Amino acid sequence: MLPFRIIDRVKFVLERQLLKGAGFQLLVVGLFIGLISLIGGLLVVPQGGEFEDPGAAIWWAFLRLTDPGYLGDDVGAWQRIVSTLLTLLGYVVFMGTLVAILTRWLIAKMTDLELGLTPVTLRNHVVVLGWTAQTPPLVAELFGSSGRMRRFLEKHDTQRLRLVVLADEASVEQLYELRNEPGVGRRAREVILRSGSAIQPDALHRVACLDAAAVIVPSQGYDAESPVTSDVETVKALLSIAAQARHLGVPLPFVVAEIQDMRKLSVIERAYPGAVEVVAGDSTISRLMVQNVLHPNLSEVYNELLTAGEGNEIFVRGGETAEGLTLGELAAQRPDAIVLGLLHPAQAGGWTVNLLASSDTVIRNEDRVVLLARDYADTGPDPKREPLPPIERLPAQARTTARQGRHRVLVLGWNRRVPGLVAEFGSYPDREFELDMVSATPLQDRQREMSGYGVDMSNVNGRLLEADYMVEGELRKLDPASYDTVMLLSSDRIGSDEEADARAMVGYLQLEDILAETRVRPQVLLELSDPDNRHLMHNHQSEMLISPMILSHVLAQVALRRELRVVLDELFTVGGAEIQFRDPDDYPLPASADFQFLEKTLAARGEIALGVRREAVDERGRHLQINPPRKQYLDLRKGDQLLVMCRT
């Protein structure tokens, strides 16, 4: 057994040397080449002649080992035998092994470069900590915000947007995904990918997090059964950034962080002492869904205002651009924009939202002006455009609405947003709801989640039902046509967003088959989680919300203009200003009214006209017309609705 132990020992030592990297591997191969050359040279020394000198014989052997072209120059049987053996060994040891080592080393180096393990040397760039379904539309939002981005770059004294994305494992596939994202395309090559986790200090250094102009922390997906939620990872990332800044003695960057549970807001503020804006992802989507239930067809407004692409957006401009003007005078000088109101600095920090302010309100330097426009350039002065006649808008007054009966809602599917959704329904004390929540998820698990969130289902007459809506028989037993609203949620209990959306869309198509047999059709609201599925449900009768696209827009725009968050909170929560659809018969409008006359009519009631929703679709397949030209005649027909900002 002793010889075998010696062989094993030699093999072990050799293995340890080879594992040390390409340098040691080349050294071992070099020793083998030298040893083979020495043995080959000594074998031909007895031949005499030119081989009397051992050094010349070893050199001869080395040439045969490294270059097969010398094989035909040898004379004599023994010399040719040795030369042939040396040539064969040269193919194996010199050419084969050497090329293999160099190739593997080059591939390894290329792989390391693709992983993005080299720290970036940038300043005043934008960092996105994490790769999720929201990342591609988030990048598209940042690239598409031309005017707002230009102001952001001027503020930070830089010439162009430099974007760094931290992914768990950066790869070429992610670049391809960015390239296929509408709004990114070839600009994907401008995105710098780096590997690592947001909770790793080395990874934060790798993306130069402390030198960034803005850091965006989107919420990561997590297993519903795991005790480590995405909010825990967000807090850990903020603690890591704060610890690095404290260690290096540098100021903290501005951070936009997404959390799922808004009750963690105080934890975020305690974890990160710097400038931070918190976007409550689940709460935001829950608010939009409930608003959409209260005001059907409002999803069209969200999909225009809160997603990238053509259409209008909400902009916030500094008060210095209109200091001394009244809101009425400013509105007359911005013919392509709609002035929504002001933000006033609060004494305790933050902002006081004053949407629907009267037209005689004077703009101060420290205020912020909120406008609705198609492009950032439309929110600025244009001396070439003819100003509009001034319109006097009275102070907004809460408009009382008739108390409606119980609103029955059927929720199909289950995800982590359901407890927050129920809490949002319960935040409307003047409305009475009845919620039936149906899912194949075990009843005890859902009851535990509801209890952990602290939701009182009695406020919304809520019931948890256990059934699989993918089974047609069970869906028919629920009698969906008897409800006022049916909501289909994309599940987070399934492996991927694609699979979750596939289940939701198949369930929707099955629901349509059942509703086609009834005379009364409820409102149907479909939630999707994968932005790539946005075009699959085109021309269907349901309203659709794509959660990652909406949250990506909010995160990107808040990163560029942090005051925008309080505006969105005002618009999409109970109380304050709201966006609603109204019947044109509620207002004294002539048959040939243009949009400017509509603005004047609504201003007399303290409201703001935003546009019109047509009963029939236009040539682009759209119902909604937001911020039309002032002199465009509305030509209102039966079934058309006015889009209005008001108080209720």
**pLDDT tens track for 216-264:** 998 876 555 555 577 888 888 899 999 999 988 999 999 999 888 777 7
The answer on pLDDT for 373 being more than 50 is: yes
Nearest to 543 by CA among 195, 264, 293: 293
Distance CA(208)–CA(393), nearest Å, equals: 49
The pLDDT-based confidence of 174 (bands split at 50, 70, 90) is confident
pLDDT score recorded for residue 370: 93
Condensed to tens digits (0 to 9), the pLDDT of residues 469-514 reads 888 889 999 999 999 999 998 887 665 667 778 888 888 889 989 9
Which of the pair, 232 or 117, is modelled with greater confidence?
A: 232
Q: For residue 371, what pLDDT is reported?
A: 93
Residue ranges and CATH numbers for the domains of the chain are 17-114 (1.10.287.70), 126-274 (3.40.50.720), 407-557 (3.40.50.720)
The pLDDT, as a whole number, for residue 1 is 43
The pLDDT tens digits for 133-166 are 888 888 888 888 777 778 888 888 887 889 999 9
Q: Residue 17: what pLDDT?
A: 63
Look up residue 424 and give its two tokens: 């949002």
Tell me the per-residue pLDDT of 558-579, one tens digit each, with 9 for 90 and over.
Answer: 888 888 888 888 887 777 788 9
Residues 6+ apart with CB under 8 A from 543: 292, 296, 297, 299, 300, 523, 524, 525, 526
Name the amino acid, one letter, at 226: S
Average per-residue pLDDT for the chain: 83
The Cα 324–Cα 365 span in angstroms is 8
Q: Which of 339, 383, 377, 336 is nearest to 360 (CA)?
A: 339
Contact 462, 488 (CB under 8 A): no
DSSP 517: T
pLDDT at 444 over 60: yes
CA distances, 207 to each of 65, 193, 272, 313 (Å): 49, 9, 19, 30
Of residues 399 and 107, more confidence is placed in 107
Does pLDDT of 595 surpass 50? yes
Burial of residue 26, with CB atoms counted within 10 A of its CB: 0-12 exposed, 13-18 middle, 19 or more buried: middle
244 Cβ contact partners less than 8 Å away, ≥ 6 residues apart: 201, 204, 205, 209, 210
Amino acid at 401: T
Confidence of residue 70 (pLDDT cuts 50, 70, 90): low
Alpha helices per DSSP H over 517-563: 547-560
| Tens-digit pLDDT profile for residues 321-367 | 889 999 999 999 999 999 999 999 987 778 899 998 899 999 999 99
Helix, strand, coil percent content, the chain, rounded in steps of 5: 45, 15, 35
Q: Give CA angle at 278 (273, 284), nearest 5°.
A: 165
